[in-house]
Amino acid sequence: EIVMTQTPISSPVTPGQPASISCRSSESLVHSDGNTYLSWLQQRPGQPPRLLIYKTSKRFSGVPDRFSGSGVGTDFTLEISRVEAEDVGVYYCMQATQFPWTFGQGTKVEI
Amino acid sequence: EVQVVESGGNLVQPGGSLRLSCVASGFIFSDYNMHWVRQAPGKGLEWVSHINGGSNDIQYADSVEGRFTISRDNAKNSLYLHMSSLRVEDTAVYFCARDLRDNYSIDRWGQGTLVTVSS
């Protein structure tokens, strides 16, 4: 099983300022097809998760462009260029390169 | 509008069984792989199981292998999770989730249904 580790666990942010979350996998997430199946999800309080980024850097439909993903191999980053109040919640990275799919432990973003 | 709606969560005793259901609408259900993901109270997300559109590719987390069975009825646009030999640690909100086709991710989630395992 691939272990996903996120840092930080908690991130106090200031509206209008950037924020960054890191995710590291215990082994490379490069699939045999050449793609890297790393996603980022946001979970607001009391809500189900919402997909933000898939395949490391592809923004899902309707996601604001202040969210961006990057990374390669085992190291990945989610960046929020200018945090807004509605971005409060817990963010998870998820690998889908190999079963069982696994999540990071979550990063709580709070104002 | 794409929707998945779970039902069937309940209070059950350790060792008991329960079947969760998920009804999909707004998309061609048989074209999509589906997943169950769970979240224990106050904890993070845990992927539970996957089934492809034709039900011939099924995967489970080690923690539920041999106890849980995923299935689907494409004619009824429905996904199921049969859970047996339930343990206290299976207590969680169970989410039905749609696969992001050809992109190995999850793009739609239900609101979840709560399963509580307790004596």
The count of C-alpha atoms lying within 13 angstroms of the C-alpha of B44, restricted to the half-sphere facing its C-beta, is 19
Confidence of residue A111 (pLDDT cuts 50, 70, 90): confident
Cβ(A96)–Cβ(A102) under 8 Å? no
Q: How confident is the model at residue A77 (pLDDT cuts 50, 70, 90)?
A: very high
Burial of residue B54, with CB atoms counted within 10 A of its CB: 0-12 exposed, 13-18 middle, 19 or more buried: exposed
Q: What is the mean pLDDT of chain A?
A: 96
What confidence tier does A50 reach under pLDDT thresholds 50, 70, 90? very high
Q: What is the predicted pLDDT for the residue at A71?
A: 97
B62, B103, B109 ranked by CB distance to A49: nearest? B109
Which of B51, B106, B113, B114 to mutate to test binding with chain A, by most A CBs within 10 Å of its CB? B106
- Chain B CB contacts of A96 below 8 Å: 104-105
**Is residue B101 predicted with pLDDT exceeding 90?**
no
Given this model, what pLDDT does residue A60 score?
97
- Which of A51, A91, A93 to mutate to probe the B interface, most B CBs <10 Å? A51
Percent of chain A with pLDDT over 70: 100
Q: What is the pLDDT of residue B102?
A: 83
| pLDDT tens figures, B22-75 | 999 999 999 999 999 999 999 999 999 999 999 999 999 999 999 999 999 999
Neighbour count for residue A94 (Cβ, 10 Å): 24
Give the pLDDT of residue B115: 98
B76 pLDDT above the threshold of 90 = yes
Minimum-distance CB partner of B112 among A48, A50, A106: A48
